[in-house]
Structure 1
Amino acid sequence: MHRRWILALTTTIALSASALVGTATAEVTFTHPGVLVSRPQLDLVRTKLAQGAEPWKSAYEQLTASTYASLDWQPKPREIVECGSSSNPNFGCTDERNDALAAYTHALNWYLTKDRRYADKAIAIMDAWSGTIKDHTNSNAPLQTGWSGASWSRAAELIKHTYDGWAPEGQDRFATMLRTVYLPVVLEGAPDKNGNWELIMTDAAIGIAVFLDDHEAFAAAVARWRARVPAYIYLEEDGPLPYPPPRGTKNTPELLIKYWQNQTTFVDGLAQETCRDFGHTGWGFEAAVHVAETARLQGWDLYAEAEERITKALEFHAKYELGVPAPQWLCGGTVKPGLGPTLEIAYNHYHNRKHRPLPKTGRLLEKKLRPTGANYFLAWETLTHANNP
Structure 2
Amino acid sequence: MKSLLKLSTLLCITVAMLTACKKPEVISEAVETAAADETPYRSATIFSGDWQHPGILNSQQDLDRMRSKVNANLQPWKGSYDKLAADFYAQSTYTIRGPQGVTVVNRETGGLDPTGSNTRCDKDSRAAYENALMWYITQDVAYANKSRDLIDAWASVITDFTGADSRISASLYGYNFINAAEILKHTGYSGWTSGYNTRATSFFTGPVYNEIKNYNQIGPGNQDAFIIKCMMAIGVFTENTAIFQRAVDEFYGRSTPANGNLANYILPSGQCQETNRDQNHTQVGLGSLAEACEIGKHQYMDMYGALDNRLLRGYEFTARYNSGNGFASTPVDYDGITGSKDYGDVPSTIGYGTFFPVYALAYYHYGYRKGLLSSSSMTYLKQVAESISPEGTSNDPAAPGFGTLLFAVGPYGGNALTNYSFEGGTVNWYAAGGAILTSNTTLHIEGSKSISVESRDFDYSGPRQDVKQYLLDNGQGLYDLSAYIRTISTTSTIFTGQVNIKLVDGTGTHYYTAKEKYDDSFAQISGSANVTWSGTLTAAEFYVTTPGNSYSIAVDKCSLVKVK
Q: Classify the TM-score, shorter chain.
A: 0.7 to 0.9
Greater share of residues in strand: 2
The partner residue of 1:48 within 64, 69, 84 is: 69
The partner residue of 2:366 within 330, 350, 353 is: 350
Say if 2:180 is the partner of 1:155.
yes
| Shift, 1:323, TM fit | 2.4
Aligned to 1:190: 216
Measured in 2, the distance between the counterparts of 1:383 and 1:344 equals 9
1:77 corresponds to which letter in structure 2?
A: G
The partner residue of 1:138 within 152, 156, 163 is: 163
Say if 2:390 is the partner of 1:370.
yes
Say if 2:137 is the partner of 1:112.
yes
Residues 334 and 121 of structure 1: is their aligned pair in 2 closer, same or farther, counting only changes over 3 Å?
closer
Please tell me whether the aligned partners of residues 389 and 404 of structure 2 are also in contact (alpha carbons under 8 angstroms).
no
| Shift, 1:30, TM fit | 0.7
1:234 corresponds to which letter in structure 2?
A: L
Please tell me whether the aligned partners of residues 77 and 132 of structure 1 are also in contact (alpha carbons under 8 angstroms).
no
Residues 324 and 29 of structure 1: is their aligned pair in 2 closer, same or farther, counting only changes over 3 Å?
same
Please tell me whether the aligned partners of residues 275 and 347 of structure 2 are also in contact (alpha carbons under 8 angstroms).
no
Cα RMSD for the two superposed structures: 2.0
Measured in 2, the distance between the counterparts of 1:33 and 1:195 equals 28
Aligned to 2:266: 233
Residues 99 and 233 of structure 1: is their aligned pair in 2 closer, same or farther, counting only changes over 3 Å?
same
Q: TM-score when scaled to structure 2?
A: 0.57
Aligned to 2:233: 207
| Shift, 1:345, TM fit | 0.9
Aligned to 1:264: none
2:126 corresponds to which letter in structure 1?
A: L
Runs of 4+ in 1 over 4 A off after TM superposition: 325-331
Q: What secondary structure is seen at the aligned counterpart in 1 of 2:106? A: strand
Q: What secondary structure is seen at the aligned counterpart in 2 of 1:272? A: coil
Aligned residues: 335
Residues 315 and 328 of structure 1: is their aligned pair in 2 closer, same or farther, counting only changes over 3 Å?
closer
Q: Deviations for 1:223-281, whole angstroms, at most 9, x for unmatched residues?
A: 0111111011001xxxxxxxxxxxxxxxxxxxxxxxxxxxxxxxx00010001011101
Larger deviation, residues 162-171 vs 70-79: 70-79
2:136 corresponds to which letter in structure 1?
A: Y
Say if 2:295 is the partner of 1:289.
no
1:65 corresponds to which letter in structure 2?
A: A
2:393 corresponds to which letter in structure 1?
A: G
Q: Deviations for 1:78-125, whole angstroms, at most 9, x for unmatched residues?
A: 221111111113531121122111111111111111111111110111
Please tell me whether the aligned partners of residues 45 and 301 of structure 2 are also in contact (alpha carbons under 8 angstroms).
no
Q: What secondary structure is seen at the aligned counterpart in 1 of 2:50? A: coil
Say if 2:40 is the partner of 1:39.
no
Measured in 1, the distance between the counterparts of 2:95 and 2:208 equals 22
2:218 corresponds to which letter in structure 1?
A: D
Measured in 2, the distance between the counterparts of 1:108 and 1:197 equals 25
Aligned sequence identity (%) = 27
Q: TM-score when scaled to structure 1?
A: 0.82
Please tell me whether the aligned partners of residues 278 and 348 of structure 2 are also in contact (alpha carbons under 8 angstroms).
no
2:174 corresponds to which letter in structure 1?
A: G
Aligned to 1:382: 404
Please tell me whether the aligned partners of residues 106 and 122 of structure 1 are also in contact (alpha carbons under 8 angstroms).
yes
| Shift, 1:328, TM fit | 8.6
Measured in 2, the distance between the counterparts of 1:63 and 1:23 equals 34
Q: What secondary structure is seen at the aligned counterpart in 2 of 1:81? A: strand
Say if 2:96 is the partner of 1:75.
yes
2:349 corresponds to which letter in structure 1?
A: V
Q: What secondary structure is seen at the aligned counterpart in 1 of 2:271? A: coil
| Shift, 1:41, TM fit | 1.4
Aligned to 1:280: 281
2:299 corresponds to which letter in structure 1?
A: Q
- Structure number with the bigger relative contact order (C-alpha 8 A, sep ≥ 6) is 1
Measured in 2, the distance between the counterparts of 1:142 and 1:332 equals 28
Residues 143 and 308 of structure 1: is their aligned pair in 2 closer, same or farther, counting only changes over 3 Å?
same
Measured in 2, the distance between the counterparts of 1:279 and 1:305 equals 24
| Shift, 1:378, TM fit | 2.6
Unaligned runs of at least 5 residues, structure 2: 1-43, 254-260, 333-344, 411-525, 527-564
Residues 223 and 332 of structure 1: is their aligned pair in 2 closer, same or farther, counting only changes over 3 Å?
closer
Measured in 2, the distance between the counterparts of 1:129 and 1:36 equals 21
Q: What secondary structure is seen at the aligned counterpart in 2 of 1:188? A: coil
1:363 corresponds to which letter in structure 2?
A: Q
Please tell me whether the aligned partners of residues 151 and 377 of structure 1 are also in contact (alpha carbons under 8 angstroms).
no
Residues 170 and 307 of structure 1: is their aligned pair in 2 closer, same or farther, counting only changes over 3 Å?
same
Measured in 2, the distance between the counterparts of 1:203 and 1:332 equals 29
Residues 288 and 334 of structure 1: is their aligned pair in 2 closer, same or farther, counting only changes over 3 Å?
closer
Aligned to 1:255: none
Measured in 2, the distance between the counterparts of 1:39 and 1:187 equals 28
Please tell me whether the aligned partners of residues 106 and 166 of structure 2 are also in contact (alpha carbons under 8 angstroms).
yes
Aligned to 2:555: none
Measured in 2, the distance between the counterparts of 1:138 and 1:181 equals 13
| Shift, 1:137, TM fit | 0.9
Please tell me whether the aligned partners of residues 101 and 377 of structure 1 are also in contact (alpha carbons under 8 angstroms).
no
Please tell me whether the aligned partners of residues 277 and 347 of structure 2 are also in contact (alpha carbons under 8 angstroms).
no
Aligned to 1:265: none
**For 1:3-42, what aligned pairs fall within 5 Å after superposition?**
24=46, 27-42=48-63
Please tell me whether the aligned partners of residues 276 and 347 of structure 2 are also in contact (alpha carbons under 8 angstroms).
no
Aligned to 1:92: 117
Q: What secondary structure is seen at the aligned counterpart in 2 of 1:37? A: coil
Which protein has the larger Cα radius of gyration, Structure 1 or Structure 2?
2
Aligned to 1:249: none
Measured in 2, the distance between the counterparts of 1:333 and 1:30 equals 41
